[in-house]
Chain A
């Protein structure tokens, strides 16, 4: 350390020198020190100095140091922006390369935003070396600056077909990584990847592609079917294990997503399992491990096919490698059945004994418990066996999982009524030998078991054989060495026991015996009163007073037992931890104003005591979203009736809230099946679990003899079973009936419990930001900011978020066009493939949107030679394009010599009754246009959303200025009252035109035409939902017919989709059904039929006026064809 500090001093000296070589050397040394764990953040500035050196040697070192030591918190990092930009555009590819490499390590959101555009340019660099680096680094940029994804995506896609394999694989890498986070946005790329997969021979790339498909298939099952074949081919042919493994993994994923079991799939599963078996049998530990891992994935969906390899898995349990053993354990979890559970657990128990190393033993222990308790003890046929396994487990030394065992004991004792007697006897034995547990293991986890033991003995004390003995065991002085919470349970349960004993004695008329017990309590309780633990102290002193009081009463010969045991009357039922949260607010119930009006016809509700109701309501979490959507409400309504019977909160006739737990009606409703136990309930002494295995076998044998008799019974059981929880053991496929019945109390979870999705989502997931629909058209606001004017402009228009359109070099633009043409050709081909598919409609929808994007572009490019200058920095080259002649949804609004206005009206999905009007302003003069203001005369029906505080007559400013030849888009929101009629609004654009000669004030009038179609939003609809809608009968009908149409049906549909915002639901020959939805939620269904030279359109809509207006508009459109 002394040497190091000396070195650091030396380095500091060197850094102060002017010689860059010395400095670089110092920085290099610092990098090494940083690796050794020394803090070098103080030298960050020097690192930047070295980074900006002109010589590559030093620059390289500088970037290396930066990439190693900089992180998001480094404040000098923003100083590097310009340096990096300079290096990125350096003529030497290695300068650029080193900058990219460095940047990949320390990119921050700021850097990402500022440099995104530069990197975009590099993606089409002439050298593949730079291209591939640029492509890869884009992934990091996307992560930091998600807004850049949409603009950059087209180019990224282009790189998938780059001539250089390195660039190609880089692009595959990036898209694969992106798609894994948010697969649904990348479905449209599937055909492209499919082609790549079948043509590529590079294993690295193949693995990535296959992985990508693995992510995509759950969303698009048809893709899965297509994939199976090439994947199985690969599995057969490849020699690379990594590829094989990836294929198997994906096949599994595909099969999982294709839940419908098809005959030929079992073949591929068999193939997978076979291959995995080869992996597992391999001597290479790595392959073995992965084989087991993949096997467990198959297990989830196809347990049958894995179960045949049980021998192999059990072998793996003996493996030397712990992680392999753990994997095998995981597999066992899924492999147990009623038949083999005991056998497997027995095997595991022997492993527990053999296992050295506590972590593995603990793991075994938890696994045993997991295996046994899975799906509500589904596989346990004999709970006595299970209890004794648990008791055996308590004898393990030094386990951390005492609480787990304890929880299991409690759970079983509560749920399985038949076992309580046995459990109590075991627990009292445990309590008796408590000193062994507590002392020999130095208070580690295992004493938790005593917690359960004490509670069970107390709660079910009526089953105790020798309650007095147990009572004494619990009052031993030694108990005070236990942890506080256990002592507290002890104290509480001692009283329960005491109450029980008291009652017994009194009934037997042994007044003296009763007094003796009381005396014992009075004698022993003070030791708890002195406890350091507050809880224990409080309980103990409270109870001590109680007992003293009882003693007085006893002295007067007053019978007290009744009253004392009344303290603990009633039964505790298990309630799922989330149950309370999941009780939905009953409909019609306003949480804010809980007025006790009778809610519904149900008797039980009216009988419910007001006080309870009131109290319950207050306790319910207030944050429940009260505005549940319709669907949810409907579901709740259905669930409601059952809920009332089963919900613990609907208490029919409990006299007071304190006694609520007492006779909850739900318990009685559950048929607890009484089974004649063919096993003697009590095995003398502390039984070993092995005995049970033998007993179980005997029992099974006997059962076979009684089979016929049983079958009859089972039928009854099943009848009853129907009313019970669905996850109860299904005996039909197995011939073994459990010896005791698990009591799964239905109200544990209210039946209408809501799916808990919201619990799973992690709002902090960095990848969620990248969940962006890439097929949407690119709005102006999404263009990558170009740095120069950014600051100035954003400050001017903070809320509107419309960055200024900047001049941009022509080069990328042209490329873009070429790319587009290529795309179009391809699209035509694809189009043919896709025609028949039901997915067509989705495609259609997308295309329609894309076309609009294109239209937007067109409109901007219209006249004047300056169009390139007006170009957008980055274009969304829209995923796929329609083979139709390009059309623009932007219609001309008004124009004069200064400015041309075109506009497009779109319904907004988020807000009811709102439409967004996008107005493109194009400056066609040689002056700068500024101070633009838009004033629109509101009508009764339509109003413009204005900034707060401005009056109706004020104009709304346009948030940008227009240099000559430039165009930009501004968006305004209008609120519409009634959307059934088209209407027009008058408006004026006023602006100042400024040129060299001076400024003039100018005006331009326009009329905004809101057609009915502009109120529609393209909403995809599935054919089944569509059919339902038509059947429902609450739609009115109307139709039009247009003659003289020569356009192809395909194009015709495209036109309707495009101009009137419909989507195709289904298409058969020359007949198609289409659907759309208005912003106010009207459904519009169309049936379009094409005859020889005519088209007829039948429409159905929930509003007849809207429909007739729409059809009129449509007629006008069609007439133009």
Chain B
């Protein structure tokens, strides 16, 4: 017994030494590539002029904090959640139907525009098919797909209506078959709640990035379930992660009041978007179409637009009267939608 204990003790010690050694090696390897800073390479890039972005629409109608929203691919409809409201048609200014889904923290439009996924404190993510018939009993058609052991923080359809990715307070992410509800792959590696996920742009292959309360952002291979890259530079919870449009980088928003930019091929952080005057947590980020601008929503009710390459703030968008919980670029890049704890959504263009 004592011998076994000693063996395990030795194995543990040697493994710990190896892991410490590998961590140092990773630092050194990443450091070698830090031959220049992003903003230095971007010195010759033209300076951005003032942006003429302002509020174009204010969508009221939620009776509670709006926690999440997503655009439909048709560029005119939105789904937003606290209680789930959908088909808010921005062009005809028609407010849509309330869907039977409570405690919603995450919502997403299906690529076809024919269904909506929503999930949250019920530990599930459900899919609701949309109908032109407003009297249709949507509650009966609601279907549970994902089952986690803690709240669902994020959900997204993959490239079709058939598969869905979720992130959860149970520390995992999961890939589901929508039709059968079957778990296709689970992703383990985070050591605390996962708060956000984002799918790589389809050209770059089957990966996604997740961020959470363990301050880590992890990149995953969807097929194998393998954690292929990991980034730990934030000083507090990562609330949101979003890929750069080329798929070679991603940005994160954190309670440490910074947003950061990570280059996947150099395998390191290459920019920090921060100011001494910004002391409240950043909850959400999204890029403009070219990737030059990063819009970030904060707990101080503002949205800051950052020059991704040069690192400076280009614009502040004022308007919301409470925390900004989500910002999302419209599919054609013409507008940003923001959701807020002030019970409204705003469209900025």
Task: Report whether chain A binds chain B.
Answer: no
Chain B contact residues, CB within 8 Å of chain A: none
Q: Interface residues, chain A, CB within 8 Å of chain B?
A: none
